[in-house]
Structure formats: C-alpha cells, structure tokens
Structure 1
Amino acid sequence: MILQAVLDFFDVKGCLVFIFVFLLVMDIIRNRPPPNFPPGPWSLPFLGNIFTKLDFKSMDKMAEDYGPVYSLRRGNERIVFISGYKMVKEALVHQLNSFADRPINPLFHVIFKGIGIVLSNGYMWKNQRKFANTHLRSFGEGKKGLEHYIQLESNFLCEAFREEQGRGFNPHFILNNAVGNIISSVVFGHRFEYSDENFQKVLRLDNEAVILSGSALAQLYDVFPGILKYLPGPHQTIHSNYYQIIDILQVEIDKHKEDWDPENPRDYVDMYLTEINKMKEDPKAGFNTESLIICTLELLEAGTESVATTLRWALVYMMIYPEIQEKVQAEIDRVIGQSRQPNMSDRPNMPYTDAVIHEIQRIGNIVPLGFPKMSSKDTTLGGYFIPKGTTITTNLSSVLFDNNEWESPNTFNPDHFLDSDGQFRKREAFLPFSAGKRVCLGENLARMELFLFFTTLVQRFSFSPVPGALPSLKGVLGFTHSPENFLVRALPQ
C-alpha cells in the first residue's frame, strides 16, 4: 500500500509537471511575436511584463533602451509604444489611416461598451464624432456663443476667488466647476452653481476615477479582467464612480425628455434626442438612449478634466515664477487694460501671454500617454512590422519633452513659443491634444477656455503661495498628470 501511494504521488506530480510544461509551451507558441515585431524586454510566461510600470517616465526609459518603437507584453496581449516627435508624427499624421481605431480596453469597456464618441470605431464613430463636432460649432452661433459663455463663467469664477478675501484656499474643484460649466452649457443648456451638491459629486467622483485609472493595480484589470472583476481593488471604485455619475446624468436627460420640443432644440441633449428619431432606420450609426448617456459622460469628462488641470498648473507656475506673472500682467494692462474683459480678438496682440499658456500646456504634460489606439491594418513603422489589431500607445510626453525639438525641454520657458522679435510662433512638436483622425474633439474650445479663463484671472488677481507652502512641481500621475493639492492666495489687482 505504501508503494502504491508513492507511485500514485509521482503519477499526480508527473501529471502536474506535464500540464505545466504543456501550458508553458502553448504560452510560448501563442505569444510568440511575429517576424520583425518591435523589440522589448524579456517577458514572464503567462504574465508578460505586468511588473513594468506604464507611466510616461518608465516609457521614456524604455525608449532609451529599445528605441522609439518598442513593445511590451501584458498577459496575452502585445502593446506597441511609440516615442519621440518624429515617430509619433509618422504614426498619427503620415499614417493616420493605419492607427485610427480604438482597442477594447477592459477597464473602461465595462462602462463605455465601445459606443459613444471616444471608444467607438468605424461607421458609428464617424457618425457620433461628426454629430458632436457639428453641435460644438453651431452652439450659440458658434465661437461667439461659446466665447460669451466663457466670459460669463469667468466672472463667476473671479467672484468665487474674491470671496476667499486673500486667504489661502484650494482652487481644485472651483476650477473644475467653472470649466465643467462650459461643457454643461453646451450639453444641458445651463450651468451649475458652485454650491450644487450633485455637480460637485460628479466632479469628485470623476476626478477620483481619472486618478485611480492610472494606477498599476487598476491597469492590471486589463490583463486579467475575468478574474479581477470578482475581487476588490481600485477598478471596483472606478466602475462604481462611473455608475453613480451615469445615474446623475440620467436624471438630467430625463428632465430634457419631459419638455423636449424637436422644433426648438436647446442644447446637445435635445439635438441628440431628435437624431435618435431621425436615425431609427440606421441602428449602426449608434443613435440611441444608451449612447446618449455615454456621449454625455464623455463630453463632460473630456471637457472638464484637461482644461481645469491645465489651469491648476497655470496657478502653480505663476506662483513659482512671479516675474513671468508680472510680464503677463504688463501685457494685459497694455493691450486690454482694467476697464473691460479679455476677448478672443485680443490673443493675436498678446504673444507673451499666448506663449505662457502654451508652455504651461507643454510642461504640464496633462495627458502624457494619450488614449490607446489600434492598428486598423497590417503596417510598418520605424522599420518594424505591426499586425492589424495591435494596441498602440503614443507617448505624447516624449514629444513635448523631445530634446531634438525643444531648446530647454525640462525648463519652464515661454521663449519656446516666441521668435527673435517676441512674436508668437507655432511649434510642430506641440501635440498636447494628440494629432490625426483621433485628435481631441474639443481642441478649439479648450484653447478658447484656456486663453479667456487665464487672462481674466491674471488681469484681476495676483497669485502667490501661502507663506512656507510653495506648491510642488512633482505632479500626481493618474490617467492625467495633475498638480498635487496646493493652497493659493488670490490678491485683487
């Protein structure tokens, strides 16, 4: 009996060894890269490079080791990373049709389901993007209407700053609310008071989700979604936050349905409801109630987070570089004065202020890795073969800090955007909004918001730190790159 037990033990052990070896061989065969695939570090069986951080600083180091086009394996998926202005431009501009699709990202697919504007593909994406773009252009008679709304909101924002009476305060959610009110006016036809509890809840839930989605544990969900969906972790908080936001947005949409008049659309939601009726015979275009909720969520999130974060960085840099703040104020006094509000026609006459705003965007590095794309066909990039369906990440940070494109990339230097005569100059390597077919839909609106909000604030206030509490430039890395929480004193001019 003892001998039989020993034999049984070795049979079980041998069977387990055989199964392990079999799975290992299958993993090697299944995940063997195609010929001439971009290089990358050695990966663990079954797991891949899951212990390699996916932040922009780690990606910069990888590019130094493997070149501007390299790959990592995450579970059973190989992801290609593209770094540096030359190669990013090649991918997004010169080969714009090769990298125009979105991959399925499990962490976000739970909520966004591959519909809407940002994460859809093909015919649906073209229709949803065209519809949103048309509404943004036509809202309030186009640019003039948007400019008017931003100017009005700038007054509310300045009043909120003034109520702090020169005391140190955290401007985070005041700025989020102000910027969020612009896209809310477009989407819902109205703004929200800074004391509105529901809107404040949306902003805080979304901000937490954005920060958590950049964490290593949350990104692990993309590798093992089938297992992790049953386990606790940051992905559960992210999904819960989005579901709560959707519930609040649903209430707004239901209010619109109650008094919706197809002949007199007031905003994006009204126009979308009309489009749902119009496109009933074309379901592939994706106009339905579920897509409306997702599109609303996407517009609100994209239209708030990046601009508000840039404005927070603006306050940080004005406090750290008071001499630059004074030069901006001098230009405002010379061009606008104190008797009227800034408008967009002032921008061509304010090259230094424009340069400062652009430099804040560049060095603030708000969305360092952009949003993943997918090769829509077999293609070649940097001499390497990239098969159809491969996930692509463009390192926008490496473009904004490219040593070959910027004179002093790691220094806050508005001269990056000024010529020898002190006039504003465009820089091709300035790609904070990405480029190509998936360039940020709200780029023009964001540029308008940044100029009007920033110039109005610096026209009316001087910003200084609380004594002994100079803000940090380190930043917090989630999906976006944002400043650490800080206190600021807004002293009326």
Structure 2
Amino acid sequence: MGLLGVLPFLLVSCITFLLILIWRRDATKGKLPPGPTPLPLLGNLLQLNIRDIIGSFNKLRKQYGPIFTVYKGSRPIVVLCGYEVIKEALVDNAETFGGRGQIQALDDSLSKYGVVPTNGERWRQLRRFSLLTLRNFGMGKRSIEERIQEEAQFLVQVLQKTEGHPFDPTIHLSHAVSNVICSIVFGNRFEYEDKNFIFLLDTIKKSFSVLLSTWVQICNFFPSLMRILPGPQHKLPRYMKKLINFISQRVKMHQDSFDPNCPRDFIDCFLAKMEQEKSNPASEFIHENLVATVVDLFFAGTDTTGNTILQGLVVLLRHPEMEANIQEEIERVIGRNRSPSYEDRNQMPYTEAFINEIQRFLDLSPLAVPHLVTQEAHFRGFTIPKGTTIIPFLSSIMKSSQYYETPRKFNPGHFLDENGAFKKVDAFLPFGAGKRVCPGEGLARMEIFVILTTLLQNFHLKASKQHEEIDIAPVVESNGHVPRRYQLCVVPR
C-alpha cells in the first residue's frame, strides 16, 4: 500500500480514536445509571425503536431497572420509572429535578418564551400568572365553567343534527374543546364553520402531527444534522409561524379595545400585567411571552382533552353497562333540567372513577416533557451531572400491577373502594408531578367531566357494530398514545 493509500486510513483511525476518547470522557462524568452501551455520535439510536419509544423503554426497564441511561447522540438522558422513583425525584427533590429539558423540535421563536419550554425567573413568573388567572374563574362576567357549559350545549346541538346516523366524533370534539380555549384566551367562541377557526384548528393539527412523527424523534438525536437534511421536520417552524401570526393578530385586536378595568379574557389579563410592569425593563410580561403562553395553552388543552373524551366514548360503546351506571348517577344528582357542574362529581363516584380510568388506560403522555437537573444530583446511589436531561416514564406508573389490579384492562373499580365510594390512588399522574405538573390540569378535568356528562345527559350511544367487536386499546404513535378512530350514533334520550 502506498503512502497515499495509508494516509486516509491513518486519518480515519485517528479521528475514530479521538471520538472514542471524547466519548469516554463525557460518558464517565458523574456516576450515571446503567444502560445500553452507546456508539460514538450515534448514541443508542440503533438500540431504540424510534417508532415505538415506549416499547423500547419498557424493555430497557426490565433489563436495567427503574433508573437507566440512554444516549441521544452524545447527550445522556436519564429515564425514571415507577411511582416511588418518580415521586422521589419530582416531588421530594423538586428543585433539583424541576428544570425544563430542551425541546429540540421547537425553534427560537417558541423555545425561549412561554411557560412550557422555559426555566428560571421567566418560567416562575409566567407559570404563577397562568395558574392564578385560570383558577380565578373571574375573567369578564362569566366563569370558565360557564364557558365550558355553553360549549357543551353547542356540541349537543351539532350532534342532534346527525339524526342517529353513524359519524366520526373526532372533529366535533376537537371543535368543542378548542372553542373552550378560544373563549378563555380570546374572549369569544367561533362558529364551527368559521374560516378563521378552521385555519387555527388545521394549523394546530398539522403541528401535532409533525411533533409526534418519527422525524422529530430523530431530531432529538441529531438536532444539528436534521436542520440541514430535508424532511417533514422543517414544516413545524412554518406551522408555528402561522400560529404565532394568528395569535398576534388577536392580541392586536385586544389592544385596540383594551379596558384595564374590565379584562375580558386571558389576553386582557396579560395586557393588564404588561401595563402594570411597563416601567420595569426586566419584566417577563412582554409580547413574545404572551403569544408563546397562548400557544402553550392551545397545545396543552386541545388534543389532550379531546382525545381523553374520545377514548371515553369508545369505551362506553364497548361497555353499555358503564354508560347505564353513569346515566343513573346523572339522573340522581343532576337530572335533565340543568347543565352538569364540576361540583356534581363529588356525588358521582362511579363517573369520577370512570374518567380517571380513561386517563389511566389511555396513557396519553407516557413520556413526560423532558426535565432538567438544575444542580448535581446524588440520587439513589448515582451521581447525575448538572444539566442532564431527565425523562419521567409515566407509563411505568399508569400500567403498574403494583397499584392496579388489571393494569392492561379497562376497570373503573381501580378507583372505587369496597363500598363504591371514589378512591384516590397516589400512583395516578396523568398530568405529571412536582413543579412541572401541567398548569392546565384543573381546566382539563373540568372540561372532561362537564362535556362527557352533558353528552350522556342528552344521548344514548349506539355502536355501528357488535359491542364485542369494538377494540378500545389505544394506538401507539411514536412517543404517545391516541384513541382508535371509530364511528358511533347518538340517540336523544
């Protein structure tokens, strides 16, 4: 072999040797939990099924235990499994494990602003404001619950027009839950045929589709590379820009008619805070944070809530005896002459248990949004360096045989005691836990209860095929679960 033939070989060998040295140096920082052996640059890409991250994590959990490490490229990711481990990290050590890990799919227009992706003082102020505003129920002259009740009645009117014919309820529920957010954020609902409303829903739907795609999972491994390579991942910034422009236009409309003494909705409340702090150059209440926080509310409160109700309806088609049980409670507690109220749930233990079981069985977000270790963590015999990304594997709780008698089967009895009273289960964390628990939890719970009970107050559900033939198992979609598509008929009671 001549000198020219030897030089490339030596060059490749040297580069490989240097990469391994750098890899070993980085991989041995701290005393990370065990996990599959990573490859330089690739990390554990080849050992994980990108199309089914949930299944891959379940296998690794069985092999390495409740805490393990995987590498996305050169970055270590520590995965936490089981109620005890996740509670100890997110609740008992909330400050240490309470940072937000980087969400690679978001560009700078959203990753630096709003509640979900941010850290530090920005996150604290925006989260506190959002929680207080959503809990206040005093925006304008109507409470949030009244807005939900109103939208539930519009949904009933739309479903009455189906006249007992089979239909896919997905779009109708999407309209209803999205309109609740619109009413809270913009101060008004949209007619379902409104072109602006259709544009908003279509943009959100397309954004969700990209976020759940395999391409975005690969982006998490190789963010720099995927910014260069062609693929659907480049659509997300375009969709986000459309969403930001839509919300910015609404903010401008609010500014033109803003009365600080009479806030009509979430945007007005934020504008009032901006006015209050306009002399503070370090204020977090700026236009960019307003727009990004509204985006957060839409992403947290549309598909998640709609999919939960969708799952509940298909379970009722499969189990008509459960529909009868809920309707018996509706007759006894609410009757036919008033709208269901969230307070009614305290006298409706079976309905409350059924809703909890929907969330547990659907397991909508098996992987929590990434957390970040804010300081070096000494946790269960391991040393996790500051800045390490943490993923709480919530599915390991929701499908645990330790806490649920039949974890793979739908069973409202998981949340009922021997006397039929509602039973709280500690290992039930559909909204996460600790400092990063979903700020829209209260809103989502209210929506699910009010809309579901309103539908069952007004209709009997009928399947388009035999009950025994209905498959209620959710579908795995990369790093999440979604209900199966189905058809149903509604018959007025």
- For normalisation by structure 1, the TM-score amounts to 0.94
Question: Following superposition of structure 1 onto structure 2, how do residues 383-422 of structure 1 map, counting pairs within 5 Å?
Answer: 383-422=381-420
Separation of aligned partners in 2, 1:209 and 1:479: 15
Alignment correspondent of 2:442:
444
Alignment correspondent of 1:131:
129
Separation of aligned partners in 1, 2:367 and 2:281: 33
Contact 1:209 1:242 in 2 (8 A): yes
Q: Shift of the alpha carbon at 1:156?
A: 0.3
Separation of aligned partners in 1, 2:480 and 2:246: 24
> Where does the alignment leave 5 or more consecutive residues of structure 1 unmatched?
none
Separation of aligned partners in 2, 1:164 and 1:471: 24
1:264 has 2:262 as partner: yes
Q: Shift of the alpha carbon at 1:288?
A: 1.2
Separation of aligned partners in 2, 1:479 and 1:420: 36
Q: Shift of the alpha carbon at 1:230?
A: 2.5
Question: Following superposition of structure 1 onto structure 2, how do residues 107-146 of structure 1 map, counting pairs within 5 Å?
Answer: 107-140=105-138, 145-146=143-144
Q: Select the residue among 17, 21, 28 that pairs with 2:17.
A: 21
Q: Secondary structure at the match of 1:137?
A: helix
Q: Secondary structure at the match of 2:193?
A: coil
Question: Following superposition of structure 1 onto structure 2, how do residues 74-473 of structure 1 map, counting pairs within 5 Å?
Answer: 74-140=72-138, 145-467=143-465, 470=470, 472-473=472-473
Q: Please list the CA deviations of residues 104-155 of structure 1 after superposition, one character each: whole Å capped at 9, or x if unmatched.
A: 2221244412221111111111111111112112233699812211111110
Separation of aligned partners in 2, 1:144 and 1:76: 51
Separation of aligned partners in 1, 2:413 and 2:32: 40
- Further displaced range: 258-267 or 276-285: 276-285
1:41 has 2:36 as partner: yes
1:10 has 2:35 as partner: no
Contact 2:474 2:482 in 1 (8 A): no
- Further displaced range: 101-110 or 345-354: 101-110
Q: Please list the CA deviations of residues 302-335 of structure 1 after superposition, one character each: whole Å capped at 9, or x if unmatched.
A: 1222111100111111111111111111221222
1:485 has 2:485 as partner: yes
Q: Secondary structure at the match of 1:200?
A: helix
Separation of aligned partners in 2, 1:481 and 1:339: 37
Contact 2:362 2:474 in 1 (8 A): no
Contact 2:30 2:383 in 1 (8 A): yes
Q: Shift of the alpha carbon at 1:26?
A: 2.7
Q: Please list the CA deviations of residues 453-474 of structure 1 after superposition, one character each: whole Å capped at 9, or x if unmatched.
A: 1111111112222237835524
Separation of aligned partners in 2, 1:446 and 1:270: 22
Contact 1:189 1:266 in 2 (8 A): yes
Contact 1:352 1:418 in 2 (8 A): yes
Q: Shift of the alpha carbon at 1:397?
A: 1.1
Q: Secondary structure at the match of 2:360?
A: helix
Contact 1:139 1:186 in 2 (8 A): no
- Further displaced range: 142-151 or 207-216: 142-151
Letter in 2 for 1:477: E
Letter in 2 for 1:50: L
Q: Shift of the alpha carbon at 1:480?
A: 4.0
Separation of aligned partners in 1, 2:221 and 2:397: 27
Contact 1:211 1:479 in 2 (8 A): no
Separation of aligned partners in 1, 2:281 and 2:174: 35
Separation of aligned partners in 1, 2:40 and 2:342: 56
Contact 1:213 1:479 in 2 (8 A): no
Q: Please list the CA deviations of residues 433-486 of structure 1 after superposition, one character each: whole Å capped at 9, or x if unmatched.
A: 111111111111111111111111111112222237835524242554211322
Contact 1:212 1:478 in 2 (8 A): no
Q: Secondary structure at the match of 1:36?
A: coil
Q: Secondary structure at the match of 2:205?
A: helix
Separation of aligned partners in 2, 1:18 and 1:426: 59
Letter in 1 for 2:9: K
Classify 1:309/1:284 alpha carbon distance in 2 versus 1 (closer, same or farther; 3 Å): farther
Contact 1:462 1:492 in 2 (8 A): yes
The number of residue pairs the alignment matches comes to: 488
Structure 1 runs of 4+ off > 4 angstroms?
141-144
Separation of aligned partners in 2, 1:15 and 1:271: 61
Separation of aligned partners in 1, 2:436 and 2:328: 38
Aligned residues with identical type, % of pairs: 36
Q: Please list the CA deviations of residues 328-377 of structure 1 after superposition, one character each: whole Å capped at 9, or x if unmatched.
A: 11221222222332222321111111111111111011111111100111
Contact 2:311 2:472 in 1 (8 A): no
Q: Please list the CA deviations of residues 21-47 of structure 1 after superposition, one character each: whole Å capped at 9, or x if unmatched.
A: 333333333x32334310000111211
Q: Secondary structure at the match of 2:228?
A: coil
Separation of aligned partners in 1, 2:65 and 2:140: 44
> Where does the alignment leave 5 or more consecutive residues of structure 2 unmatched?
none
- Further displaced range: 91-100 or 263-272: 263-272
Classify 1:358/1:474 alpha carbon distance in 2 versus 1 (closer, same or farther; 3 Å): closer
Q: Please list the CA deviations of residues 203-228 of structure 1 after superposition, one character each: whole Å capped at 9, or x if unmatched.
A: 23323322332333212112322221
Contact 1:211 1:480 in 2 (8 A): no
Contact 1:464 1:489 in 2 (8 A): yes
- Further displaced range: 463-472 or 307-316: 463-472
Classify 1:264/1:141 alpha carbon distance in 2 versus 1 (closer, same or farther; 3 Å): closer
Contact 1:69 1:382 in 2 (8 A): no
Contact 1:262 1:270 in 2 (8 A): yes
- Further displaced range: 405-414 or 477-486: 477-486
Q: Please list the CA deviations of residues 250-299 of structure 1 after superposition, one character each: whole Å capped at 9, or x if unmatched.
A: 22112112222223322111221222233234444422111111111111
Separation of aligned partners in 2, 1:281 and 1:121: 23
Classify 1:15/1:93 alpha carbon distance in 2 versus 1 (closer, same or farther; 3 Å): closer
Classify 1:295/1:168 alpha carbon distance in 2 versus 1 (closer, same or farther; 3 Å): same
Alignment correspondent of 1:32:
27
